[in-house]
Structure 1
Amino acid sequence: MAISANRLELLSIARSVAYEKNIDESIVVEAIEEAISKAARARYGADHQIDARINPKSGELTLKRKQTVVATQDEVENPSQQIPLSVAKRIDPSVDVGHVFEEDLPLFDFGRVMSLTGKQVITQRVREAERDKQFEEYKDRVADIINGIVKRVEYGNVIVDLGRGEGVIRRDQTLPRENLNMGDRVRCYIYDVRREPKGPQIFLSRAHPGFMAKLFEAEVPEVYDGVIEIKAVARDPSSRAKIAVFSHDNSIDPVGACVGMRGSRVQAVVGELGGEKIDIIPWSPDPATFIVNALQPAEVTKVVLDEDENRVEVVVPDEQLSLAIGRRGQNVRLASQLTGWSIDILTEEEERSRREKEANSRTELFMGAIDVDEMMARLLVSEGFETIEELAYVELGDLLQIEGFDEDVSAELQARARDFIERAQNEL
């Protein structure tokens, strides 16, 4: 077919391809221009700089060969693309260095090889544009829920047809004991979109904590409106989950709003997640209170925070230990994920035994180091002294506040403590 046979035919082809692939028509026109330019260089010489242009209104096609004006003949590196100023002045006396001459070339018929080459160029450009369009469309939908139809299942990975693209639910992002078959309609959470050579990869999940948060947003109007905020989510997919909620309106109970009338709202989420049990926890800015709430339904009697190590020691009644830990450690593990603290659980008996052991150890330390009797050593331990250094360098007034301690006794104890530290340093 002669490329000049029908001016409007090229525009018609561009429109139909753009509509079919859902991309901009100008991209298809540019792809056709590039294909024709490549065919023209094959016809007139690969060294030539030839541009094909299609008028977007009339469809008229023109071929232009370009030559750039350089200062002298010595600067001409490619005679097909450059022309010295002395020669250019003969053609147009007004030109200067850097001017670009454009020469019209006659149109020609595509041969079979040129047609195949042009088709490959157009196909490649259209495919790239389609992938870019798909990436731009889905990258802004990360952290959204999307509906799709299961296309196929490969080695445990589920390929989902999203309409204008495909997403994949990897095996570790599916719900345990959930069987998805070809043709099933499925709701998923988009947690990542990556640009890759084969096209954009859309990663979906039904096990991601964000999926549960988005489901609550869809079921609870207060969450959607921002009155209730979901602060954190921890999940053991298909088994149990904990979700921390906070109300910005004191008149609205965040837990009650998420549960709904007779549990209607939470049951809708549970049904979507295959029966996953959900504990809705009131969030608190106080870490100790939040941790106590997170360990529900277990009761907590004491909480000791170590902010430097980001660890917390929780004491529960003896009969509450199994409930606090949960089956296979599930309750304490989810509470730790929800709060961001490492949680150690002790029973009251274990805590009391450990405290007595530590007190005895410190008592023996003071008895041996500063040569006092057991009663005096236990008194120091009960007042909170843990090391010889604390006793040696504490303010004298703090010792005087201890019942039965006068200035002479306090000064003597500090002197003995400092002597012990000095001997230890000398030995080292």
Structure 2
Amino acid sequence: MAVTGISANRLELLSIADAVAREKNIDKEVVIEAIEEAIQKGAKSRYGAHHDIRAKIDHKTGELSLTRHVTIVEDDWQPEDELEEFNDSAMVRLTDASKRDPEAAVGKEYVEVLPPFEFGRVQTQMARQVVTGKVREAERANQYEEFKDRVGEIVNGTVKRVEYGNTIVDLGRGEGIMRRDQSIPREVFNVGDRVRTYIYDVRPEAKGPQVMLSRAHPGFMAKLFAQEVPEVYDGVIEIRAAARDAGSRAKMAVLSNDSSIDPVGACVGMRGSRVQAVVAELQGEKIDIIQWNDDEPTFIVNALAPAEVAKVVMDEDADRVEVVVPDEQLSLAIGRRGQNVRLASQLTGWQIDIITESQDSERRQKEFAERTTLFQEALDVDETIAQLLVTEGFATVEDLAFVESYEVAEIEGFDEDTAEELQARAREFLDRKAAELDAKRVALGVEDDVLNVPGVTGAIAVALGEGGVKTLEDLADLATDEIRGGYEVKNGERTKVPGVLESFNLSQQDAELLILHARVAAGWIDASELPQAELEPEPEFEEEIFAEAGEDGAEEPVEGVDVDAEVFDEDLEPTQDA
């Protein structure tokens, strides 16, 4: 758009503004304000940049007025900004103004009407740039307002161009970009193709709002089901979680708010009609629809379908779960290239480790043998007594030494005298071990103050000394990664950095608490800065969840498990494989 001069026809200015507003889909007022600013800049380039020149176009008649303003300021006026200074072309001090105007007052403005003038080549170019810039800013603001509240929606568009694998989509009132990693593999688009995409983010950037589109996002699949399944659209069925390996396989967890409606069957549809419509849109992607369950072990079992699960052992502190499956089910549980377990992990939010029943049995036998040997050596007893203690659930000598004596006496074949003798030997062993550890600590140069820190045992003190941590200040100065171990990037490679107490498997909270106690002891912080609630003690036994069906269809515990483990029967939910 060209601005030739302020003497242009009045109706011409309004018609230009109206045409630009319609073409760019922006407010006409914005275009008129841009023209006013362009005329002001052109006038300042002609009369001087220091002048306060203002252009005003009547929005109804198109009448243009160009005026110069001089404002009265106080005699002792001081700039608010360091870069600002007194401008005698746009300001006049009160004393000077009073000499010519008896009614002069601070803030009063003198207005001078300027005559019309023709724009030169430089002024025309400047005006064009101003108007173009303002119109572009208004377009970007409109586009951001249009799409910022549409995150999570499916939109239809036309492929405008493809650049380096990224697809630019014309959405009608703006453009969106679908990056290479957000498209379905092997899916190729040509200019002019109609495409259905999912808005997963809208970013206000300097070059304009970026509408981020995706066909690989789990939300795209969920929204497609909402379009195909009326119960999902109405909220009767909820899609609680979804995970995708775009173009290959997906898992989706659904929950019904109406007990009379089967959520899995509703999403599948008659003869699979509903799910097949979604599969067709996703280029044949295989979809497993499973039932959501608030009981996490049950949900994990469902998520690993079609594989059968024998047992689930959860470690809530590390957000990890160990799943035991029959030997013949291992490949099915893991899936091709780990796909099944990876999607189940994404769906449930747990890190899932898969082992077979034979591996689990072998590990249990190894642990049983190691604990038996420990009790034999520590208590100087024969193998039978040691095995009895392990079978009863004693895992360490500490467990035996500090338990109530009647619990040991109640073991079949034991009496009170036997229990007292075994506990006495256990305490003697622990005393000898503590003395050895303390001697080693002293030899390593670890100070007594370190041992007095809450949470520091003799074994921990020795490990600290071997790691070069010998004073209270050394311990207080550590970070949690230095205690637990972590990763760092060197030469572009992520490498493991061991921690001084990594072998003790301290949780993040335990490590932080140990450091805080050391800092309190060192006088670096006050005790009031310690967390108010200490960590809850570890449960005596890990939860073990069984999901193996008996001959009558009822679920039974797997044979060969610890009798003291807490057992939960799994109510396995049906899984529909599309």
TM bracket (short chain): over 0.9
| 2:177 partner amino acid | V
Aligned length, in residue pairs: 428
2:128 is matched with which residue? 119
How far did residue 234 of structure 1 move? Answer: 1.0
Counterpart code for 2:63: E
Aligned AA for 1:193?
Answer: V
1:46 aligns with 2:49: yes
Moved over 4 A (4+): 73-76
Query: Shift in Å at residue 311 of structure 1?
Result: 1.2
Residues 1:238 and 2:241 aligned together: no
**Aligned amino acid, residue 369 of structure 2:** N
- Equivalent residue, structure 1, for 2:158: 149
Instruction: Name 1:356's counterpart in structure 2.
Output: 365
Match of 1:288 in 2: 297
Partner residue in 1 for 2:476: none
Gaps of 5+ in 2: 79-84, 438-578
**1:125-162 CA deviation, whole Å, 9 max, x = no partner?**
11111111112212222221111112222222222222
Q: How far does residue 9 in structure 1 lie from its aligned partner after superposition?
A: 2.2
Deviations 1:345-403 (A, max 9, x none): 22222211111111111000011011121111111111111111111122333323323
Match of 1:324 among 324, 333, 358: 333
Q: Are positions 1:81 and 2:85 aligned together?
A: no
- Structure showing greater relative contact order (alpha-carbon pairs closer than 8 Å, 6 or more residues apart): 2
Percent of aligned pairs sharing the same letter: 67
1:170 is matched with which residue?
A: 179
Provide the TM-score with structure 1 as the length reference. 0.96
3-state SS of paired residue (2:32) = helix
What residue is the counterpart of 1:186 in the other structure?
195
Matched, 1:257 2:233: no
Offset at 1:64? Answer: 2.1
Residue 380 of structure 2 aligns with an amino acid whose one-letter code is D
Alignment of 1:1-400 (within 5 A): 2-72=5-75, 77-400=86-409
Q: Which runs of 5+ in 1 are unaligned?
A: none
Secondary structure of 2:205's counterpart equals: coil
Which segment drifts farther, 380-389 or 267-276?
380-389
SS at match of 2:35: helix
TM-score, structure 2 length as denominator?
Answer: 0.71
> By how many angstroms is 1:15 displaced?
1.4
State the one-letter code of the partner of 2:228: E
Post-superposition offset of 1:43: 1.6
Q: Which residue is 1:418 aligned to?
A: 427
Letter aligned with residue 14 of structure 1: A
Q: Structure 1 residues 380, 60: CA separation in 2 closer, same or farther (over 3 Å shift)?
A: same
Please give the per-residue CA displacement for 1:306-325, whole angstroms capped at 9, x wherever unaligned.
Answer: 11111111111222122111
Structure-2 separation of matches of 1:245 and 1:351: 32
Secondary structure of 2:208's counterpart equals coil
CA distance in 2: counterparts of 1:71 and 1:175, whole angstroms? 68
**Deviation for aligned residue 1:74:** 8.3
1:140 aligns to what SS in structure 2?
helix
Alpha-carbon distance in 2 for matches of 1:128, 1:201: 14
Counterpart Cα distance in 2 of 1:35 and 1:242: 57
Query: Matched residues in 2 for 1:74 and 1:280: separation?
Result: 74
Equivalent-residue separation in structure 2 for 1:73 and 1:291 (angstroms): 76
Cα distance change, pair 359–2 in 1 and its aligned pair in 2 (3 A): closer
Q: Post-superposition shift, 1:77?
A: 1.9
Distance 1:353 1:392 in 2: 28
Whole-Å Cα distance in 1 between the matches of residues 409 and 16 of structure 2? Answer: 98
